[in-house]
């Protein structure tokens, strides 16, 4: 049988990539793009840190890695964006709006942006692509998410992610394939999707659930509670994705189950280790002390829960993490509260319309 794709031109990669955000993930993605053969510039916000990284080829946010000399590093946003034909936005979720607005003023019209932040904005409840759509009206955009510790991606360990572009009438927008070939290498494999909402919900909610798993580990709990939090957390992701117009099935993929299992089961996760410190008895201040790296789940426990409340979506684990972080609930009371909720059925049974018998008394 003839290959239906025979004769189709392969998507062309973008040649010059501006990476806006010089934390661990921005630096790792700059290294991935350089490895893929792109001309790469990296924007580090703090001038002194940018100068030091340009000289030493090291970034304290991503210790243990040497940044290839071919990657230009500067704190001048105009220099990074000038002549770029793709910009990656790799900014902590609560700062993305301001940076996106600044990039919009300096980036040539029509140049696409790939959002690599994970989170939901506090106050507005906006997904990261909604923030970009608002601050960069009409600009083509996509989101990259999935199970990807910066350290391992920078080291060239096999990593798979999802790149999602808003749907078009004709299937997956060709921009997704162009972005995939721009970033893809034999060790970094993007899959494409037309469901940014589903992908983004996975990336935002897993941060909160990783804090919950960390808290359980810090309390000395073993594998049963962690598996329960992962599986029931997935149900919360599915409900939120659904309510935001995404697909439940998307959260079964890399950006949902993939990232959830990664961050909920590894001490490498900043969210998990923050939760573990709290579970071990540290105060929030003590658990955050000395950290320069972002703990997205801390702000996102609130933004996810507020969004869920507004949409009428039941997300008891995320709400519990928020209540603990707000200081109103002890971890013991939280666990008791989650385990003694009214009996319910698993999500597929509920989706099939199964009636749940209420316990007597
Ligand atoms: N680190 C990872 O392994 C990883 C992997 C995938 C996705 N992400 C996501 O990437 C995003 C960036 O995280 P990271 O790990 O690169 O950050 P990081 O914790 O390594 O570094 C913090 C970053 O925040 C920047 N920053 C601090 N204050 C700022 C402000 N007011 N305005 C703009 N920027 C400010 C700093 O310059 C620095 O680049 C997050 O949404 C994170 O969830 C991280
Ligand atoms: O270290 P964390 O918890 O911020 O997780 C990093 C990445 O999001 C993992 O995919």
DSSP character string of 291-308: --S--HHHHHHHHHHHHH
Q: Answer whether residue 177 shows pLDDT above 80.
A: yes
Detail the residues annotated as belonging to a binding site for substrate: 118, 270-271
- Ligand 2 mean position, distance from CA 153 (Å): 12
Q: What is the DSSP string of 73-103?
A: EES-HHHHHTT-SEEEE---GGGHHHHHHHH
Residue 213 CB less than 6 A away from ligand 2: no
- Ligand 1 mean position, distance from CA 162 (Å): 19
Mean pLDDT of 147-162: 98
Specify the residue with its C-alpha closest to ligand 2, atom 4.
Answer: 270
Residue pLDDT, tens place only, 246-262:
999 999 999 999 999 99
* Helix, strand, coil percent content, the chain, rounded in steps of 5: 50, 10, 40
Detail the residues annotated as belonging to a binding site: 21-26, 45, 95, 118, 146, 148, 150, 206, 259, 269-271, 294, 296
Residue pLDDT, tens place only, 81-135:
999 999 999 999 999 999 999 999 999 999 999 999 999 999 999 999 999 999 9
Mean pLDDT of 66-95: 98
> CB-based burial of residue 154 (10 Å sphere; 0-12 exposed, 13-18 middle, 19+ buried)?
buried
Q: Greater confidence, 344 or 224?
A: 224
The set of catalytic residues is: 206
Is the confidence metric ipTM above 0.90 for this complex? yes
Q: Which domains are seen in the chain, by residue range?
A: 16-194 (3.40.50.720), 198-356 (1.10.1040.10)
- Ligand sitting nearest the alpha carbon of 270: 2
CA dihedral 159, 129, 25, 231 (to 10 degrees): -50
Residue pLDDT, tens place only, 283-341:
999 999 989 899 999 999 999 999 999 999 999 999 999 999 999 899 999 988 999 99
- Ligand 1 mean position, distance from CA 90 (Å): 6
List the single range of 93-97, 239-243, 341-345 with lowest mean pLDDT: 341-345
């Amino acid at each position: 049988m003839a290959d239906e794709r025979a004769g189709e031109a392969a998507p062309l990669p973008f040649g010059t990539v501006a990476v806006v955000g010089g934390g661990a993930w921005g630096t790792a993605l700059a290294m991935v793009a350089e490895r893929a053969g792109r001309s790469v510039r990296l924007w580090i916000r703090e001038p002194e840190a940018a100068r030091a990284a340009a000289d030493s080829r090291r970034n304290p946010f991503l210790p243990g890695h040497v940044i290839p000399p071919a990657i230009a590093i500067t704190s001048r946003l105009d220099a990074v964006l000038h002549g770029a034909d793709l910009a990656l936005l790799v900014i902590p979720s609560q700062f993305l709006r301001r940076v996106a607005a600044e990039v919009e003023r300096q980036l040539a019209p029509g140049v696409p942006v790939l959002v690599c932040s994970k989170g939901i904005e506090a106050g507005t409840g906006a997904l990261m692509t909604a923030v970009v759509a608002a601050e960069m009206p009409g600009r083509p955009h996509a989101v990259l998410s999935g199970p990807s510790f910066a350290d391992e991606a920078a080291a060239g360990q096999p990593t798979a992610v999802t790149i999602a572009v808003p749907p078009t009438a004709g299937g997956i927008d060709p921009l997704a394939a162009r972005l995939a070939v721009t970033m893809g290498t034999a060790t970094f494999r993007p899959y494409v999707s037309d469901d940014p909402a589903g992908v983004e919900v996975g990336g935002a909610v897993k941060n909160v659930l990783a804090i919950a798993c960390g808290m359980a580990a810090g309390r000395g709990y073993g594998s049963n509670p962690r598996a329960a939090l992962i599986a029931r957390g997935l149900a919360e992701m599915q409900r939120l994705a659904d309510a935001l117009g995404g697909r439940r099935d998307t959260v079964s993929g890399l950006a949902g189950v993939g990232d959830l299992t990664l961050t909920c089961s590894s001490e490498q996760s900043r969210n998990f280790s923050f939760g573990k410190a709290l579970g071990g008895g540290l105060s929030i201040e003590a658990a955050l002390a000395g950290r320069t790296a972002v703990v997205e789940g801390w702000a996102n426990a609130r933004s996810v829960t507020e969004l869920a409340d507004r949409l009428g979506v039941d997300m008891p684990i995320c709400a519990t993490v928020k209540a603990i972080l707000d200081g109103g609930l002890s971890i013991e009371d939280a666990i008791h509260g989650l385990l003694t909720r009214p009996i319910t059925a698993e999500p597929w049974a509920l989706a099939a319309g199964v009636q749940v018998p209420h316990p007597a008394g």
